[in-house]
Amino acid sequence: SYELNQPTSVSVSPGQTASISCSGDNLGDRYASWYQQRPGQSPVLVIYEDSKRPSGIPERFSGSNSGNTATLTISGTQAMDEADYYCQAWGSSTAVVFGGGTKLTVL
């Protein structure tokens, strides 16, 4: 079965750039999406189709996907960006796969 791998945790200082990776076999051949989940809340879509931002998501969120790795980048990271982040792709036409999640700490 298809798998997506993420680092368990990433730390960043306020105002700096955070990068969260998501790796999977030929992930670049599929679309990747990213979700932000703050404690006690539901996941919120922050990136879809590798690099597009939904309405209402700040411009500091961006994404890329090539080869075996998709990357979520948060520029000028703010304290409010501290959350768990999950990547997601389709393993097959009907099978959805989520990464294991990355805890972003802003310190």
Partner 1 sequence: QVTLKESGPALVKPTQTLTLTCTFSGFSLRNSGMRVSWIRQPPGKAPEWLARIDWDDDKFYRTSLKTRLTISKDTSKNQVVLKMTNMDPVDTATYYCARTRPRENWFDPWGQGTLVTVSS
Our finding on whether 63 is near partner 1 (CB under 8 A) is: no
What lies within 8 Å, CB to CB, of 37 at 6+ separation is 43, 44, 83, 84, 85, 86, 101
Q: Which is nearer to partner 1, 14 or 54 (CB)?
A: 54
Residues 36-55 within binding reach of partner 1 (CB under 8 A): 42-45, 48-49, 54
Q: In the set 15, 58, 96, 105, which binds partner 1 (CB under 8 A)?
A: 96
User: What is the C-alpha separation between 102 and 21, in angstroms, rounded?
Assistant: 9
User: What is the C-alpha separation between 7 and 103, in angstroms, rounded?
Assistant: 8
Q: Which residues here bind partner 1, judged by CB under 8 A?
A: 1, 31, 33, 35, 42-45, 48-49, 54, 86, 88-90, 94-101
